[in-house]
A and B are shown apart, each in its own frame.
Chain A
Amino acid sequence: MRRNRGIVCWLLAVVLLLSACTKTGGDAQPAAGGAGTGTKPAETGQPASGSGGGKMTDVGTPRSQTLIVDILSGRSADPDRMNPYVPGAVPMDSGLHQLIYSNLWEIDTVKGKQIPDLAATMPEPLDNTNTKFRFKLQEGLAWSDGVEFTADDVVYTSDMLLKTKELGYSGYYSSLVKSMKAIDKTTIEVETVQPETRLAQKLGVVIWGTAFRVMPKHIWEKEDPTKFKFTDPVGVGPYKLSKRDPQGNWFLYEKRQDWQKSDIGKLVGEPGPQYILFKYFGPEEKRIMAAISHEMDILQDITPESWDVLRQKNTFAKAWYENFPYADMNDPCERGMSLNAAKAPYDNPDVRWALTLLTDIKNVSMATFGGMLRASPIELPPISVLQDNYHKPMTPWLKDFQLSDGYKPFDDSYAKDMVDMLKQQGVKGLPTDAKEMTDTFGVGWYKYDPAEAAKLLQKAGFKKQGDKWLKPDGTPWKLTINAPANFEVQSMRLAFAVADSWRKNGIDVNVQQMDAATFWDAESTGNFEVGSYWPACGLLPDSTSNFQGWHKKYIVPVGQQAPGNRNRWASDRVSSLIDELNGLKSDDPKVIQNITEINKEFVKGMPFIPMFGTSKFVPVDTYYWSGFQTSKNEFEGPWWWWSQFKYYTPHYKPTGK
């Protein structure tokens, strides 16, 4: 045994030697002129610890000064690659676009409008052609390496995109912008290829981020943009990359010493955290353990079950709402069932409506996310801004809406019914007045009415044999719902819940879980009957851009990859309304009218059965940090993976622990 012990010790020593020989290099290379890259806190002149405790993080920063954020996309395979114009490898939501890169126009999701960021003004047309625009840039901003940010940087980025066809974004950009020129240090004129009414939406942020990211001319002009890694990223945001894990599990950002010259420094104020650590802890179980142990301050998506565990084990953990439904419901995409209008029998609106009426939406809500969902009867997500502009104003029309046989399918009692149902289950803190109920659970949905659905199916030639439906050709009605496998949990669960509801009503439903590549390929090529996809997104009242893809001109035959309109639903009326919208300016009152009309067409045709907004359980731990946004402190939504994250940082203050 002694000999065996010796062998074991010897082998352990060998493995240590083997692993030690692997490349490491945890620090980012110092950027030209930049201070503090790769430095330890003691070297930055910062106190060794905060006001409390002196606990250090495992990357060597004082815990009291370090905000730790979960990484939504997980580990980065190549953490050195920061060139945002080469798609794929860039760890964009590992803090890079949240803290370093800045955009011309950002989004204020609470007000539902774009705001200037690097730009100081919105684009102003120079004539009536809508092809020439001018906008000003913020003055006094500097890149994180100290070089002044000017119009030359924006123009350089534009020219680089126009010239470098190998970049994925170049093709689209060239179809949008003809030229950009700097009039002076802070004034830019743009000429577009076609008349444009929404230039800021196309070059700025509408949701999550934007493809047009201004790069520093003084660095990029010396490089080949197709090969440049941009390993030491330089931006106008308030932080700089300090250290990174060569294996891509974490990225440490440090507040710029000259944060006053960052966009946030100028527009909002000094960011609270000295350090922000974006870290991937692994699967959900480990992320929850980390949050319970106060090792993570901001969590990305977790399931309702995990939230239950977290709130019971960590009293400092807070979700968007203090009580039920806890989750934030203002995510800009809604979930539902996409129907392939190019495949029989789903090419028949009566069949699509029958499936809608066979959906027991309350039970589907309970089965999917324990009832913590806001229903949407139209083609726009039920976020507060859009509810006020569309869902609520459209409710009278929805109530009056009739199917071809005169049947009125809309049911406005969904919110109240959900409250009653949840009350019976002992859920506390439910809304009590009608407005609060609607704001929480939505304006209503469609009736669960198998009898009316049967009428529609019989009209379409279906027959019932025993408790099973037969298609018009006499074969049993079998359908497959495509669902994501182990990603986009809400859509995955929704597919199973809907399948259950339809199965109970005589349809042989199979849920096919697919990995990402197969799931998206099936949607694009139209190789699906029903899919738990989410083609209905929007955040601004002017959601023209989100409807573009539904134009009939984008329909291609099944088997070919579609650029848009993946449901292959052809509507002349919707297409002409989209054409008309493209000619209207964003603030034209007719925009809302047209989009309302488009929504009415979607209700009539039902190519996508809208069901729920996305409920996000993205909790925070208030043990080390305070000032997080919640429903009671709603300066912004909890969009930790969006480029606007940098706007939140001045609100966060250490608790002193």
Chain B
Amino acid sequence: MDFYKFLLSRILTFVLVVFIGITAVFFVPRFLPSDPVEAMIGQLTSKSAFMDPKAIETMRTTLNESFGLQGSLLQQYFGFFKRVLITHDFGPSLANYPAPVGELIGRALPWTMGLLLTSTIISWAIGNVVGLLAGFRKEKAYSKLLEAISIALYPIPYYIFALVLIMVFAYIVPIFPLSSTFQGDGFTWERIKSLVVGSTLPALSMILVGTGWWVISMKTLSAGIAEEDYVHFARLKGLKERKIMSRYVLPNAALPQVTMLALQLGTIFNGALVTEILFGYPGVGTLIYTGILQADYNLIMGTITISILAVAGATFVVDFLYPFLDPRVRYK
């Protein structure tokens, strides 16, 4: 019975979070002092320097019709919900009209997931290992060294760090390309090679910078746990240090780290804007950025809605995983 109550409460929370999030994403951009039609006309006039006033008037009318920006806000809001829930369609991108938002996201999402999923998990794994060593075996020289490196990299602004990597590995010692050019098709060697070459620098930059935070938090957690009575008791029992670290300290210190990992995995759907721009990597971050710059309501709604669903979904899943990870937690 407790489980069903727990399940119901979590489902309700999930639905409520998603509803409030999507509603906010619908209204907030519309209250901004910007207009997608004007943005497009501005873009066209700034390029060609001149558009006949008559042409501007007719284009404004046509675009308002095409973009579905007619009708009251409430009508647009219900239309949006109906479209998303029934046809799972976010409509056309206004900045890239008439490309459907779903198509643009579908094109970018695998790249974002491929890069961010990997780099997040790798930095989480490395960070936790180093953090665990730094917290549990803090007297060892290699622990100190690894911790020092991680903590030294962590505060460097990402933009600078990534640019330094580009300068070193793509310009001074040109091992990697300045701009990723993905070649080949399907699951071919050419394709794999091009992916490895093109993705290494962006992934490396994210892993190196991302690891620092995990090191710091894991070190704090494991250092605290290492002083717990049950750890002292294990030592007195004569257990080996390695066993104490892996069986006593790690499982207890890992719990909050798992929660944070789940939340971070949810946010990967936001993309990594700076990485994408600097490395010419195709992903969702650039889509969101373009959406905001061009007041592309549909693109903003599409990308943020997926992010809301992902974060809410990740939290939902973690809630269910907790009792498996920690026997003290029950479905209540």
A residues lining the B interface (CB < 8 Å): 1, 4, 7-8, 11-12, 14-16, 18-26, 58-60, 75, 77-78, 81, 86-89, 93, 165-172, 175, 202, 206-211, 226-227, 245-250, 279-283, 285-286, 289-290, 292-293, 295, 332-333, 488, 515-525, 527, 534, 537, 545-546, 548-549, 551, 554, 561, 563-565, 641
- 5 inter-chain pairs at a CB distance below 8 angstroms, sorted by A residue, are A88-B95, A211-B55, A515-B34, A515-B292, A522-B33
Question: Which A residue's beta carbon lies closest to that of B299?
Answer: A77
Q: Cβ of A172 and Cβ of B55 under 8 Å apart?
A: yes
Q: Cβ of B187 and Cβ of A20 under 8 Å apart?
A: yes
Question: Which A residue's beta carbon lies closest to that of B58?
Answer: A171
Question: Which A residue's beta carbon lies closest to that of B38?
Answer: A521
Partner of A60, one of B32, B170, B183, B192: B183
Q: Does B328 contact A (CB under 8 A)?
A: no
List, in ascending order, chain A residues with CB within 8 A of B61's CB: 171
Bound Cα distance from A515 to B42, whole angstroms: 11
List, in ascending order, chain A residues with CB within 8 A of B126's CB: 4, 8
Contacts of B274-301 to chain A: CB distance below 8 A: 277-280, 282, 286-287, 290, 292-295
Q: Does B150 contact A (CB under 8 A)?
A: no
Bound Cα distance from A549 to B118, whole angstroms: 54
List, in ascending order, chain A residues with CB within 8 A of B192's CB: 16, 20
Q: Cβ of B57 and Cβ of A87 under 8 Å apart?
A: no
Q: Cβ of A59 and Cβ of B183 under 8 Å apart?
A: yes
Q: Does B98 contact A (CB under 8 A)?
A: yes
Q: Cβ of A518 and Cβ of B34 under 8 Å apart?
A: yes
Q: Cβ of B43 and Cβ of A516 under 8 Å apart?
A: yes
Contacts of B25-51 to chain A: CB distance below 8 A: 32-36, 38-44, 46-50
Q: Cβ of B58 and Cβ of A172 under 8 Å apart?
A: yes
Contact with A along B180-201 (1 / 0, CB 8 A): 1111111100011001100100
List, in ascending order, chain A residues with CB within 8 A of B280's CB: 75, 249, 280-282, 286
List, in ascending order, chain B residues with CB within 8 A of A564's CB: 53, 56
Q: Does B125 contact A (CB under 8 A)?
A: yes
Partner of A16, one of B60, B110, B196: B196
Nearest Cβ distance between residue A630 and chain B, in whole angstroms? Answer: 23
List, in ascending order, chain B residues with CB within 8 A of A525's CB: 38
Task: Identify which of B53, B56, B66, B97 gathers the most chain A CB atoms within 10 Å of its CB.
Answer: B53
Bound Cα distance from A262 to B5, whole angstroms: 73
Decide yes or no: A4 and B54 within 8 Å by CB, A19-B195, A517-B295, A537-B49 being known contacts. no
Partner of B287, one of A18, A23, A60, A77: A77
List, in ascending order, chain B residues with CB within 8 A of A292's CB: 171
Decide yes or no: A561 and B60 within 8 Å by CB, A4-B129, A88-B94 being known contacts. yes
Q: Cβ of B292 and Cβ of A175 under 8 Å apart?
A: no
Q: Does B153 contact A (CB under 8 A)?
A: no
List, in ascending order, chain B residues with CB within 8 A of A1's CB: 129
Q: Does B311 contact A (CB under 8 A)?
A: no
Q: Cβ of A89 and Cβ of B93 under 8 Å apart?
A: yes
Nearest Cβ distance between residue A88 and chain B, in whole angstroms? Answer: 4
The total of chain B residues at the interface (CB under 8 A) is: 87
Q: Cβ of A281 and Cβ of B46 under 8 Å apart?
A: no
Question: Which A residue's beta carbon lies closest to that of B180?
Answer: A249
Q: List 8 additional A-B contacts (Cβ < 8 Å) besides A12-B118, A18-B114, A282-B278.
A: A19-B195, A89-B98, A165-B62, A166-B66, A289-B170, A515-B292, A521-B35, A549-B53
Q: Does B151 contact A (CB under 8 A)?
A: no
Nearest Cβ distance between residue B223 and chain A, in whole angstroms? Answer: 20
Contacts of B84-142 to chain A: CB distance below 8 A: 93-99, 103-104, 107, 110-111, 113-115, 117-118, 121-122, 125-126, 129
Q: Does B321 contact A (CB under 8 A)?
A: no
Partner of A88, one of B96, B103, B183: B96
Contacts of B140-157 to chain A: CB distance below 8 A: none
Q: Cβ of A286 and Cβ of B62 under 8 Å apart?
A: no
Q: Cβ of A24 and Cβ of B117 under 8 Å apart?
A: no
Q: Cβ of A332 and Cβ of B277 under 8 Å apart?
A: no
List, in ascending order, chain A residues with CB within 8 A of B295's CB: 517-518, 521
List, in ascending order, chain B residues with CB within 8 A of A75's CB: 280, 282, 286
Decide yes or no: A281 and B179 within 8 Å by CB, A166-B66, A171-B58 being known contacts. yes
Bound Cα distance from A172 to B170, whole angstroms: 49
Question: Which B residue's beta carbon lies closest to that of A289?
Answer: B171
Chain B interface secondary structure, helix, strand, loop or mixed? helix
Q: Cβ of A250 and Cβ of B49 under 8 Å apart?
A: no
List, in ascending order, chain B residues with CB within 8 A of A165's CB: 62
List, in ascending order, chain A residues with CB within 8 A of B20's CB: none
Q: Cβ of A22 and Cβ of B184 under 8 Å apart?
A: no
Q: Cβ of A207 and Cβ of B181 under 8 Å apart?
A: no
Q: Cβ of B52 and Cβ of A545 under 8 Å apart?
A: yes
Nearest Cβ distance between residue A302 and chain B, in whole angstroms? Answer: 15
Partner of B179, one of A77, A169, A285, A290: A290
Q: Does B308 contact A (CB under 8 A)?
A: no
Chain A interface secondary structure, helix, strand, loop or mixed? loop
Partner of B54, one of A59, A208, A227, A563: A563
Q: Cβ of A167 and Cβ of B62 under 8 Å apart?
A: yes
Bound Cα distance from A340 to B174, whole angstroms: 52
Smallest CB-CB A-B distances: 5 pairs: A171-B58, A520-B42, A564-B53, A247-B282, A15-B118
Bound Cα distance from A179 to B315, whole angstroms: 62
Q: Does B167 contact A (CB under 8 A)?
A: yes
Question: Which A residue's beta carbon lies closest to that of B199?
Answer: A19
Q: Cβ of B63 and Cβ of A22 under 8 Å apart?
A: no
Q: Cβ of B96 and Cβ of A21 under 8 Å apart?
A: no
Nearest Cβ distance between residue B228 and chain A, in whole angstroms? Answer: 24
Nearest Cβ distance between residue B34 and chain A, in whole angstroms? Answer: 4
Bound Cα distance from A18 to B53, whole angstroms: 50
Q: Cβ of A18 and Cβ of B110 under 8 Å apart?
A: yes
Decide yes or no: A279 and B182 within 8 Å by CB, A202-B52, A248-B282, A564-B53 being known contacts. no
Partner of B49, one of A172, A207, A488: A207
Q: Cβ of A22 and Cβ of B110 under 8 Å apart?
A: yes
List, in ascending order, chain A residues with CB within 8 A of B117's CB: 15, 18
List, in ascending order, chain A residues with CB within 8 A of B178's CB: 281-282, 286, 289-290, 293, 295
Partner of A208, one of B33, B49, B113, B185: B49
List, in ascending order, chain B residues with CB within 8 A of A523's CB: 42
Q: Cβ of A516 and Cβ of B39 under 8 Å apart?
A: yes
Bound Cα distance from A8 to B60, whole angstroms: 53
Q: Cβ of B36 and Cβ of A279 under 8 Å apart?
A: no
Q: Does B59 contact A (CB under 8 A)?
A: yes
Q: Cβ of A283 and Cβ of B277 under 8 Å apart?
A: yes
List, in ascending order, chain B residues with CB within 8 A of A169's CB: 55, 59
Q: Cβ of A520 and Cβ of B38 under 8 Å apart?
A: yes
Q: Does B21 contact A (CB under 8 A)?
A: no
Nearest Cβ distance between residue B313 and chain A, in whole angstroms? Answer: 19
Q: Cβ of A58 and Cβ of B113 under 8 Å apart?
A: no
Q: Cβ of B96 and Cβ of A282 under 8 Å apart?
A: no
Decide yes or no: A516 and B113 within 8 Å by CB, A247-B282, A332-B49 being known contacts. no
Partner of B58, one of A93, A175, A488: A175
Decide yes or no: A11 and B122 within 8 Å by CB, A18-B117, A537-B49 being known contacts. yes
Partner of B57, one of A22, A249, A563: A563
List, in ascending order, chain B residues with CB within 8 A of A537's CB: 49-50
Q: Cβ of A285 and Cβ of B163 under 8 Å apart?
A: yes
Decide yes or no: A517 and B39 within 8 Å by CB, A172-B54, A286-B278 being known contacts. yes
Q: Cβ of A58 and Cβ of B174 under 8 Å apart?
A: no
Bound Cα distance from A11 to B120, whole angstroms: 11
Decide yes or no: A561 and B38 within 8 Å by CB, A12-B118, A75-B280, A168-B63 being known contacts. yes
